[in-house]
Structure 1
Amino acid sequence: MINLTLNDGRTMPQLGMGTYQVPETQAAMVVRQGLDTGFRLVDTAAIYGNERGVGQGMQGTDVFLTTKLWNDRQGDPAAALDESLALLGVDAVDLYLIHWPAPGQAQYVGAWKALIDLRAAGKTRSIGVSNFLPDHLDAIIGATGVTPVVNQIELHPDFQQRELRAYHADHAIVTQSWSPIGQGKTLLDNGTIVGIADKHARSAAQVVIAWHLAHGLAPIPKASSPDHLSDNVAALDLTLDDEDMTAIDALDRADGRMGPDPRSM
């Protein structure tokens, strides 16, 4: 497993395991299967409703753990994180993220200041954000002088967020990709992706994950079956050539966003 160095000096596995929409009743089993397969980063969030199961699946292991602050708790991140830690069964998480800027609430700068305090208190080892745009990032960095280690954003070949990635590169922020292989089978059925998969005798999902890895992105694909988990991890030893990368880069679409727009979320 490849590790990325964060701007606070810590390291984080580049490939992670997402748990969005994994039910609480299945989370422990799915997480354990993922760890047995080779994942060493598990991503959850308060809003997913599965933190207890994720924590149970991780018991007795040394895994990089991420959870997130939901929008309605931006006024009291300390209490929200304590609740998450209790459900997860840990004293601290490796990474705590503000899940969305929720600009209409006008609380995300205050929430970021609270995360800085939580890091100082040892409740989280690193702090970051999710779904923030450059103006949101400018606001929190300008107010505190502290730059997030990660911005976790929707990113896949249909929606490549190049301008935001350039901002991240300028500020030493790791770009972490949620929904990295899209949703449903639309992207995985794309002729370009399928052609590259056939060329390498690999799955379409492996090709897309390998594209993220080659660009230095940190994808967190969600999978809940042992076969899909193993398939995703196998992308680590797939090397795409320049022709492959150029072809996938060309799939970017201005209308490719599938999830909410951070400006209105």
Structure 2
Amino acid sequence: MSIPSPILPLSDGHSIPQLGLGVYKIPDADAATAVRLALETGYRHIDTAALYENERGVGQGIAASGIDRSEIFVTTKVWNDRHGIDETRRAFDESLDRLGLDYVDLYLIHWPAPKQGRYLEAWRALEKIRADGLARSIGVSNFHTHHLDRVLAEGEIAPVINQVELHPRLPQTAVRAYDAAHGILTEAWSPLARGRLLDSQLLAGIAEKYGKSVAQVVIRWHIELGNVVIPKSVHAERIRENFEVFDFALDANDLAAIATLENGERTGRDPDDLD
């Protein structure tokens, strides 16, 4: 059995495994196998979304694992076309039905979709879903600090997490500082810059030093920054490799070298531009 993931506290009293499995672009038919393999490996955190169209497979993988539901942290998200108090609640109910679960551990607004201007309505729906006990925690994804300003000012409770694109080329220093100042954990999607970092000679040198892969070095970098991180894979060997990051630590020189990779590159859209 692999060394288990650290568990990080959330501001609402719950907690989250720091390392999870992301399932973006994994077909529904393959999601069940990937989730089951991840849970067998030692993962206890699975991140999906309505957009991914694989919630049903994720639920099947959880069921097939034989692991008690209480031990597994499940995240899903509402898509941009379902913002609004009633629409968001219906979207949540549909996600819960596809997952085959009685509750989710974390429900997120997937993007702020600011031109629609309805993310505060969606947030009020999330607050009600939480109050009803159907989502234990609620948060946001892809929110800039100015989007968070509005949620914090006008919402009744604060998000526990902000999931953003984050990797050594886009370390999101200002967002992480804002989140930390407001008791919000930062979670990294695209943690390997969609594979663009795997050819880095700098990272390859650090990986050789520890007898690890480049992916393991980058995932370890996230762990040491305090990020929640959700690398994605459908391959059994890569799922296992991505979890084997708790038996080494990067030193100050490594972290300084990795910091030189920052160039502001996004692999996805800017949250202000996606509706």
TM-score range, shorter chain: over 0.9
Whether 1:229 and 2:239 are equivalent positions in the alignment is: yes
Q: Which residue of 2 aligns with 1:242?
A: 252
Whether 1:18 and 2:18 are equivalent positions in the alignment is: no
1:146 Cα deviation (Å)?
A: 1.5
Q: Which residue of 2 aligns with 1:251?
A: 261
Letter in 2 for 1:258: T
Which of 200, 216, 229 in structure 1 is aligned with 2:226?
216
> How do residues 98-247 of structure 1 correspond to structure 2 at under 5 angstroms?
98-184=109-195, 186-247=196-257
Q: Is the 8 A contact 1:55 1:87 kept in 2?
A: yes
Whether 1:260 and 2:264 are equivalent positions in the alignment is: no
Q: In structure 1, how many angstroms separate the alpha carbons of the residues matched to 2:134 and 2:215?
A: 35
Letter in 1 for 2:103: A
> How do residues 40-55 of structure 1 correspond to structure 2 at under 5 angstroms?
40-55=44-59
Q: In structure 1, how many angstroms separate the alpha carbons of the residues matched to 2:56 and 2:234?
A: 17
Letter in 2 for 1:71: N
Q: Is the 8 A contact 1:3 1:12 kept in 2?
A: yes
DSSP 3-state at the match of 1:183:
helix
Q: In structure 1, how many angstroms separate the alpha carbons of the residues matched to 2:229 and 2:155?
A: 28
Q: Is the 8 A contact 1:206 1:238 kept in 2?
A: no
Q: Identity of aligned pairs, percent?
A: 50
Q: Which residue of 1 aligns with 2:9?
A: 5
> Cα deviation per residue 1:172-193 (whole Å; 9 max; x = unaligned)?
1100000101113x31111110
Q: Which residue of 1 aligns with 2:83?
A: 74
Whether 1:64 and 2:68 are equivalent positions in the alignment is: no
Q: In structure 2, how many angstroms separate the alpha carbons of the residues matched to 1:187 and 1:26?
A: 25
Gaps of 5+ in 2: none
TM-score by length of 1: 0.98
1:257 Cα deviation (Å)?
A: 1.0
Letter in 2 for 1:39: Y
Q: In structure 2, how many angstroms separate the alpha carbons of the residues matched to 1:68 and 1:183?
A: 20
Q: In structure 1, how many angstroms separate the alpha carbons of the residues matched to 2:192 and 2:232?
A: 9
Deviates more, 1:150-159 or 1:60-69: 60-69
Q: In structure 2, how many angstroms separate the alpha carbons of the residues matched to 1:225 and 1:105?
A: 38
Q: In structure 1, how many angstroms separate the alpha carbons of the residues matched to 2:90 and 2:134?
A: 11
Q: Is the 8 A contact 1:207 1:238 kept in 2?
A: no
Q: Is the 8 A contact 1:154 1:257 kept in 2?
A: yes
Q: In structure 1, how many angstroms separate the alpha carbons of the residues matched to 2:43 and 2:254?
A: 25
1:168 Cα deviation (Å)?
A: 0.5
TM-score by length of 2: 0.94
Q: In structure 1, how many angstroms separate the alpha carbons of the residues matched to 2:128 and 2:248?
A: 41
The runs of 4+ residues in structure 1 deviating greater than 2 Å are: none
Aligned length: 263
Letter in 1 for 2:204: V
Letter in 2 for 1:137: L
